[in-house]
Structure 1
Amino acid sequence: MEELKRTPLREVYEQYGGKVVEFAGYELPTQFKGFLHEHHTVRERAGLFDVSHMGEVTVKGKDAKKFVQYLVTNDINTLNNNCVLYTFMCKEDGGVVDDLLVYKFDEDDFFLVINASNKDKDVKWIMDHKGDFDIEIIDVSQNIAQLAFQGPMAEEILQKIVDINLQEINFFQLRRNVLVNGKKCLVSRTGYTGEDGFEIYCDPQDAKELWNAILKAGEKEGAEPIGLGARDTLRFEACLPLYGNEMDESITPLEMGFGFFVKLKVEEDFIGKDALKKQKAEGITRKLVGFELLDKGVPRHGYEVVKDGKVIGHVTTGYKSPTLNKPIGLALVEEQYAKIGTEFNIKVRNKELKAIAIDKRFYTKKTKSK
C-alpha cells in the first residue's frame, strides 16, 4: 500500500485535537471538536482549514491565455488581471474532468487550482493537451501550502495580521505579495463554504507559523480549526459541487445546472464545446435537483431515487443540514421529475421515504460581492 502523503501542517493536527483520516492520498483531519460545532463556527464566526493537499499548476508563455481558453468551458476573455474564474475542464463528450479555479496574473501568466483527488489525472490532462501552444506548464503543488479562512468574521480577524486593506479585495479577486504575519503570500477572496473568506497560498515552510498566527489573531472572536467533515456540509448547503458526487466524467455541467460557467457562444473552441452545444440543442435528459426528505431519515450519497416503483436517479449528496436542521439532499434525476414541487421517494436501505423537490440553493451565500 502506498504511503499516505502529509501536508506541512500535519504535525499541528493533534495539538488542536484533530482526528486524522485518509483523504485523496493524504493524512487529513476529519474534525477537531466535532463537525457540527465546526460547521456552526464557520457560519457564525470564522474557521481555518488546511487545504494544502489541493493542486496548483502554472501556465506561462505567449499562448497562455489561448491555451487556458481552449482547456476550460468559461470565457477567459472576461477575466481581468488579478481576478479569479470558476470553470470546468471537460472531455470531448462533455463529461467533467474536474472543476477548477483559474487565477489570472497577466495575459501570459495563469495559475490553476485543481482538486486534490484528481491532481495527477488533471495534471496529465493539462499536459496532454499542450499541443503546439507556446507555453510552459509546471505542476507547482509541492511548492505551495494553502490555508482557507472562512466565515463572517474572517476579514476582521485576518486584517489584524496583513499589510493591506482586505476590503480592497472583492469576491473572486486576488492580491500577490501580501504580507500575512510578515510572510509573503497570495491572498484571494474565494472559498468553498458559502461564506465570506480568503484562501491564502504560501511557502510550505511558513504554513505552521501562519496557521498559529491566524488562530491567535481570532482567539477573542472564537476562530477555530475546521476539518473535512464540516467542509463537506458547508459546501453542500451552498450547492457547491464535489467531484465524485455532483460531477464526474459521465455528468456534464449542463446536467448539473451549472450552464452559467459554460460559454457556448465564445468564438474560440474549447474541449467538449461541440458535445455540449449538441446536448443543449437536443435538451438534457437528467438534471441535478435539490430535495427535502419528508419522512424521518437521512439521505446519503448513492441512494436510489424512486417514482411509482421506477428508479429515476440517485442521491449525489445528502445530510441532515446543520444550518436548516432538516434532512436535505441533491439528486441527479430524469429531467421530467426535476421540477420544484415534484414528489418522489428516496430508498433508504430497503425502505422508501417520501421526498419533495426544492430549490437546490439551500443556503444564501454571504460572500462579499460588491
Structure 2
Amino acid sequence: MRVLILTQERYRIKPREGVLISLFDGDQFSIIDPEGGQVCEVLAFDNHGKDALKSINLKGELLSKFAQELLFSSSQDEATGLFLRQNNIDLNQCRSAKILGENLSFRNTGSKKEIFVNKSIVCILFSPAFPMEISEQNPGTEILINIDRNKNYLENEKFNLPPPFFEVKFEQTIQPGSAISYEVKSGDYIQIIDVAGKQCSDFLAFDHIALNKREELGIDLAATRTFMGLAYPVPGLYSKFYDKEFQPLFEIIRDTVGKHDSFVTACSAKYYEDQGYPGHKNCSDNFNSELQKYSIKSRPGWPAINFFYNTSYDKNAAQFVDEPWSRPGDYILLRAMKDLVCASSSCPDDIDPANGWNPTDIHIRVYSPQKTISKGIAYRMMPDSIPQLTHETAFHPRTSLLTKSYTDYRNFWLPTCFTGFGPIEEYYACRENAALIDLSALRKFEILGPDAETLLQKTLTRNIRKMSVGQVVYTAMCHETGGMLDDGTLFRLGMNGFRWICGSDYSGVWLREQTQKMGLQVSIKSSISEIHNIAVQGPKSREILKEIIWTKADQPTVQELKWFRFTIGRIGDDHGVPLIISRTGYSGELGYEIWCHPQHALKIWDAVWEQGNPRGMVPLGFSALDMLRIESGLIFAGYDFDDQIDPFEAGIGFTVALDKEDDFIGKEALIKRKKFPQKILVGLELEGNEAAVHGDCVHLGRNQIGIITSATRSPILRKNIALCRIAVEFSDVGTLVEVGKLDGHQKRIKAKIVKFPFYDPEKIRPRS
C-alpha cells in the first residue's frame, strides 16, 4: 500500500501472513521489525523463476516450517499462488533467508535491514509465527517494508496503482481535467483510485434500464440522506445510494479515506467564471459531453458524489474547502445494485486547495462479481501509518448468524444489536440472567522483561508493585499534563510478565517510547492477532461458566475466582482448548471475560452458548452495552475522557495512587489538579422522557457550567440519566441544573445532580 508520496511504497506483513512484491533495478527497500524479536523470511526469484537471493546479498537456507505450511497450503493469497504456478516454481527446491529477529535483547525495537536491488526480481516476504498459547507472552508481530522506487519506473502509470483484487473487467486512467462514461452490470465492483493523492473525482450513476425507457433515474440527495441518516453513506449497514424512486443504485464496500463531500455540484463553468477564470475546464461540461450518447440532458452543473473532496460546513453553516485527505493509492470501492451507466471525472480545479493545487490522475477499475470483497473502512493509528481495513473478529462466524447490524469499532466489525432480541431485551437479559458479548477489538500488549514492573510503575497511575500474580487492576495512563492517554486493565502473569488490555493502539507505541527513554530492558509486543475475547455478564454468569471451564489444581476454579482476578483453564477438561478467564467486565453485573486464541474462538463460543442459552443468556451488542455501562458509571474514551481530561475529571480518581513512593508520568500535574480541581464528573437525572446526548450543554441560569459526556434512557430505573462533567462549584448532589437543547437556551430539560453509579452504587452485584 503506497503512502504519502509516489516514489515510496509501504507494506505491513501481519503475523503468519506474507506479501509478494515486484522489485526493479535501482530500487531500494528496508525491512523493519517495529516491535522487536520478529524474524522476516525472504524468498527471491528472477524473471525465470530461479532463486535470486544472492543478487540481494542474502544467504539461502531451508524453508522454515511456517513458510512450507503457508506456501503449500490452499490458503496462500491469489497473487502468490498465481506467480508460483506461472513460473513453475518447485517449492521443494526453494530456499529462504531469515533476517532480523535477533535474540530478545530488549534493545532491538525498530531494527532494520537495508537492501539494494540491482536486477528485476520478485520477493515473497513472511512474518513467520505459530499460534501463541493464551498463557504465553511470545506473540508474532508485524514486519514493515519500505520501498524507495527507481523513478525511471514511475513513467508506467500502472506501476503507480495498488494491485487489483482479481481479474479486471475494465480499467481506464482519467487524465486531469477530463471525464469518462462507462457501463457496469448489477453486482460489478467499481474501484475509483486516487493515483497520486489529494485528487478529487466526481461520480454519477444512472439506472441503465430506465435510460433505455428515456427516464433519468440518477443518484438522489434527499432519498439517500433520508434513508441512510448520514451526510454520505459508508461501508457497513448504511452504505447505499438511492434514486428518486427510492431504489438503491449502488453501495460503498470499501473506503480507505473516510473524508469526502457528497451532493455538492461538480465544478461548473459558472464556478470558474465567478472566480475570474472564464473558459476553464470543468467537470460538469465534461460530463455533459460524455453523457450525450445516452441521450441524457445536459446541465450547467451536475449534482455529484464528490469523492476525495475535503469540503464541509462549520458551526456557522459556512462552507469551507481544504486539501483532500487522500494519499497515493487510496480508493473507494463500490458495488452496483443495478445495471448502471456511470461517469467519473478527474477534477481540473487548480484555483483553490480542492486538488492540492495540482490536478492529477484518477484511475477506474471494474470487476465482475466473481468473488466477494469484504467491507471495510481504513484505520490509521497515526497519520503516517499504513491503513488497515476493518477486520472481522474470530467470533464473527457465530455473531453474523444472529445479526447484520454491525458498527466499525476501532477497526473491527462488532454487533450493535441482534435480530430477534434488540437492545432492551439484551439489556434485561444481562441484568436478570446473562449476556454474551464480543469485545475482541480491545487492544492487547505483552509487556515482558526484567524491567517490566519498573516501566509500568512509571507509566500507570496505580501502584503496580502491589500487584500479585493472578491479579487484574484497572488503571489510567497519563501524559505529563495529567491528561489521559488511555485507560485499561493490567494482568500480572508473572513477576516480570504483564498483559495490558486497553482501547488504543498508541498505548503500545507510547510504552515503547518510554522504554527507550529510560533505557529499560522490556519488550512490548501487540498480541491482538493472538488474543480475542468475549464477556459473559449477568447474575447467572458464574452458574453457566462453572459447568464448562476446567482448571488445574493450582489454579482457582470459576467458583473460587475473586473480583479482579484471573485463572488459566480449558473448556471441558485438561484436553480442551486453552483460555484465560478473568472476573472483570463492563456491565456493572457479576461477570467474566474469556480470553483465547482466535483459532479456538468458535469452540469457546459454542460451549458457552450451549450452557447459557437454556438459562436465558442472549447475545448482546454495543447499544445495550452502552446502557449498562452508563448506569454503572463506567467511562468511555472519546466521550467521557480524552487527553485533555485527567482521571479525577473523568470520575476515576480512585485509580491514581498519589501516595506511591515512585514517581510516575503526570504525577506532579495530577497533584496540582487534585488540589485545585476545576471540573468533576457527576450523574444527572433528567425530568420527563426527553433524552440528553453527548455534547449537550448544562446550564445554571444563563451560565453554562458543564457538558454531557454520555447519556441514555435507563430501562430498569425508568429515567433518562447522563454523565456530566461540571464545574466543581455546582457539583453537590441535589443541585438543580438544566440541559440545554437547540442553541442551549430556547429549550431546556430540568435535571438534578445525583449520586452515581446510578445502578448498584456500592458495586455489590459484581462483587457477589
Shorter-chain TM-score tier: over 0.9
SS at match of 1:179: strand
SS at match of 2:722: strand
Q: C-alpha offsets along residues 236-279 of structure 1, whole Å, 9 cap, x if unaligned?
A: 11101111111111110112232211011111111100100111
Structure 1 residue 183, shift from structure 2 partner: 1.0
Structure 1 residue 232, shift from structure 2 partner: 1.1
Q: Which residue matches 1:15?
A: 401
My pick for the range that moved more, 79-88 or 343-352, is: 343-352
Structure 1 residue 337, shift from structure 2 partner: 1.1
Structure 1 residue 218, shift from structure 2 partner: 1.2
- In structure 2, the gaps of 5 or more residues are 1-255, 257-377, 379-388, 552-556
Q: Which residue matches 2:454?
A: 66
Q: Which residue matches 2:757?
A: 361
On the 8 A contact 1:194/1:366 being kept in 2, the answer is no
Aligned counterparts of 2:709 and 2:621: Cα–Cα separation in 1: 21
Q: Which residue matches 2:565?
A: 173
Q: C-alpha offsets along residues 68-113 of structure 1, whole Å, 9 cap, x if unaligned?
A: 1111001112211100011000010000011110101122011110
* Structure 2 residue corresponding to 1:211, chosen from 605, 608, 614: 605
Structure 1 residue 368, shift from structure 2 partner: 4.7
On the 8 A contact 2:588/2:766 being kept in 1, the answer is no
The answer to whether structure 1 residue 124 and structure 2 residue 516 are counterparts is no
Q: C-alpha offsets along residues 189-233 of structure 1, whole Å, 9 cap, x if unaligned?
A: 111100111111101011112112111111221111111111111
Q: Cα RMSD (Å) of the superposition?
A: 1.3
Structure 1 residue 169, shift from structure 2 partner: 0.8
* Structure 2 residue corresponding to 1:158, chosen from 532, 545, 569: 545
- 1:34-53 aligned at under 5 Å gives the runs 34-53=422-441
SS at match of 1:74: coil
TM-score (norm 2): 0.47
The answer to whether structure 1 residue 142 and structure 2 residue 540 are counterparts is no
Aligned counterparts of 1:312 and 1:187: Cα–Cα separation in 2: 43
Count of aligned residue pairs for this structure pair: 365
Q: C-alpha offsets along residues 281-326 of structure 1, whole Å, 9 cap, x if unaligned?
A: 2x20111110111244101111011111111111001111122111
Aligned counterparts of 1:55 and 1:17: Cα–Cα separation in 2: 24
The answer to whether structure 1 residue 280 and structure 2 residue 674 are counterparts is yes
Structure 1 residue 56, shift from structure 2 partner: 0.6
Structure 1 residue 37, shift from structure 2 partner: 0.6
Q: Which residue matches 1:28?
A: 414
Aligned counterparts of 2:669 and 2:520: Cα–Cα separation in 1: 23
Q: C-alpha offsets along residues 15-71 of structure 1, whole Å, 9 cap, x if unaligned?
A: 123511222222111001211110110000001111111111011111111111111
On the 8 A contact 1:152/1:366 being kept in 2, the answer is no
* Structure 1 residue corresponding to 2:665, chosen from 256, 271, 286: 271
On the 8 A contact 1:305/1:315 being kept in 2, the answer is yes
Aligned counterparts of 1:368 and 1:78: Cα–Cα separation in 2: 22
SS at match of 2:408: strand
Aligned counterparts of 2:657 and 2:397: Cα–Cα separation in 1: 43
TM-score (norm 1): 0.96
The answer to whether structure 1 residue 244 and structure 2 residue 638 are counterparts is yes
Aligned counterparts of 1:111 and 1:267: Cα–Cα separation in 2: 23
Q: Which residue matches 1:222?
A: 616
The answer to whether structure 1 residue 187 and structure 2 residue 581 are counterparts is yes
Aligned counterparts of 1:230 and 1:219: Cα–Cα separation in 2: 18
SS at match of 2:407: strand
Paired amino acid for 1:307: L
* Structure 2 residue corresponding to 1:325, chosen from 718, 740, 747: 718
Q: 1:152 to 1:243 in 2, by over 3 A?
A: same
SS at match of 1:77: helix
Q: Which residue matches 2:700?
A: 307
On the 8 A contact 1:91/1:271 being kept in 2, the answer is yes
- Greater gyration radius: 2
On the 8 A contact 1:197/1:367 being kept in 2, the answer is no
Q: Which residue matches 1:87?
A: 475
Q: C-alpha offsets along residues 110-141 of structure 1, whole Å, 9 cap, x if unaligned?
A: 111011xx2x2222111211121111111111
Aligned counterparts of 2:670 and 2:733: Cα–Cα separation in 1: 25
SS at match of 1:248: coil
Aligned counterparts of 1:35 and 1:323: Cα–Cα separation in 2: 13
SS at match of 2:392: coil
Identity %: 32
Paired amino acid for 2:614: K
- In structure 1, the gaps of 5 or more residues are none
